[in-house]
Amino acid sequence: MQETSALIRTIASREPGTRVLLQVVRDGRAQDVDVVLVERPCATPRAARRRLRRPPGGGCDRGIGISVQELTRLIRTRWKLPAALSGIM
């Protein structure tokens, strides 16, 4: 858990638009991934903030800044991935 906190602090200390090289482990192998940092969008939609009576721009839960989705047939086709591949992207 300490490593997660260190990663969040390191990324938060850099400006949006900064290119960074992350090392991830996939299928037991380390891979380097070149990414460009962007400002985290607010996880709470504007309509939900109104219902919760939060002021605009205040009290926004931004999560940890990672988006994932299930690896679908459409995504596998678009990225020319093997049909047997499953998981998240």
The full 3-state SS of the chain, as one line of letters, equals CHHHHHHHHHHHCCCCCCEEEEEEEECCEEEEEEEECCCCCCCCCHHHHHHHCCCCCCCCCCCCCCCCCECCHHHHHHCCCCCCCCCEC
pTM over 0.85: no
- Bigger pLDDT: 49 vs 26: 26
Class of the CATH domain delimited by 2-78: mainly beta
Tens-place pLDDT, residues 31-74:
998 999 988 766 555 545 454 454 454 555 555 666 778 888 89
Domain ranges within the chain, ordered by starting residue? 2-78
